[in-house]
Structure 1
Amino acid sequence: MNQFIILLSFLFSLNFIQTKHPLSMGLNLLIQTMLISLLCGFHSYSYWFSYILFLIMLGGMMVLFLYVTSLASNELFNFNMMNFILKMFIFMMTMSLLMFNDNSMWLINNNDTSNFNFIYNINNENNLIKLYNNPTFNLTMLMIIYLFLTLLIAVKITDMNQGPLRQLY
């Protein structure tokens, strides 16, 4: 399953290079984020980290979507059907070769992830305490201040009267 997700991620990475329209790039980035979140969720004890990662990226993508639709709204979206069919054919051929050569690809191997989860659960109670101890306290405060300043800047930029976004009506 991991190889399948990695192969899909590689396919969308190659597709991202060839896209020219900002909306298709955003859709491609959103699909990449979903695949990486799934991969992180498979390898961790819970899906909370991958869920938070996906929500943060989705929030950023909504801001980018707002900018793209206001600045490049009249740009045409060209979709080449032959190119899409060729990519899907290559992807299906690669997947069929992998499936016939390696049957363990479709089985979920939980041995590695269960060992990692056991190590992760040993110190689960102390993880939050370590976040606010002396060595990492400075980094935590720096991240909090950075996120607060980013929030203030984003609010200032998206002000309708003074910001770069034009009105859509």
Structure 2
Amino acid sequence: MLKFSLIFMFMNSIIMPTVTHPLFLGLLIILQTIMVSIITRLMSSSSWLPLTMFLVVVGGLMVIFMYSTSITSNNIFTKNNITKYFLFTIMIIPLNKEFSIYFFKDTLCTLDNFNKEFFKMFSEVNWASSVFMFYYLLMALLMLIKMINLTKGPMRKKY
């Protein structure tokens, strides 16, 4: 899993400089953030750091997304030659012999560690605090929906 994530991050890093549309660039940044969070989770014993990092980055990207959609709402998405970069990355994978040999072994080893961490997080000791946290987030979501006036329409102005 770790090697697959690294190869996927390499592919995203190659594609990013060629992208001209801000929405596609935002999608690539979100995918890169997901891969960094997965790698951080696989290398650390705690899942809180990758979760916090992911939520902060995605929160910032949502603000950037709202700003960029209000500016570039009518731009046409032009298809660059991204497929050649994708094919280049696919051709690199078989060259790495370790990737094909140890891919499934690496996945099975991290699966056991994931199950242990998951059961620690939702054990009987932490059950009450987890339920309180879920309830608190649900209430915050419902209050936010109630505060937003849905009759006003979209956030951007129509001229």
Q: TM-score range by the shorter chain?
A: 0.5 to 0.7
Amino acid at match of 1:37: S
Q: Give distance in 2, aligned partners of 1:28 and 1:89.
A: 17
Report Cα offsets for 1:68-127 as digits up to 9, x if no partner: 0111112111124xx23322322221112214776235432869xx9xxxxxxxxxxxxx
Q: Name the CA shift for 1:93/1:167 in 2 (closer, same or farther; >3 Å).
A: same
Gaps of 5+ in 2: 114-154
Alpha-carbon distance, 1:60 to partner:
0.5
- Relative distance call for 1:36 and 1:166 in structure 2 (3 A) is same
CA distance in 2, matches of 1:48, 1:101: 28
1:167 aligns with 2:146: no
Q: How far off its partner does 1:24 sit?
A: 0.8
Deviation, structure 1 residue 66: 0.3
What TM-score, normalized to structure 2?
0.62
Gap change, CA 1:13 and 1:101, over 3 Å in 2: closer
Aligned to 1:94: 92
Match of residue 83 from structure 2:
85
Tell me the equivalent position of 1:73: 73
Q: Are the equivalent residues in 2 in contact too, given 1:5–1:39 (CA < 8 A)?
A: yes
Q: 2:94·2:100 contact (CA, 8 Å) conserved in 1?
A: no
Cα gap change, 1:101/1:10 in structure 2, threshold over 3 Å: closer, same or farther?
Answer: closer
How far apart are 1:2 and its partner, in Å? Answer: 2.1
Question: What residue is the counterpart of 1:61 in the other structure?
Answer: 61
- Measured after TM superposition, the shift of residue 34 of structure 1 is 0.3
Return the TM-score normalized by structure 1.
0.59
User: Is the CA contact 1:26–1:65 (under 8 Å) kept in the aligned structure 2?
Assistant: yes
Relative contact order, CA 8 A, sep 6+: which one is greater? 2
Query: Residues of 1 paired with 2:97 and 2:57: CA distance?
Result: 32
Q: Deviations over 1:39-62 (max 9, x none)?
A: 000011121111111111111110
Contact 1:23–1:68 at 8 Å: present in 2 too? yes
Determine the C-alpha separation between the residues in 1 that align with 2:12 and 2:62: 20
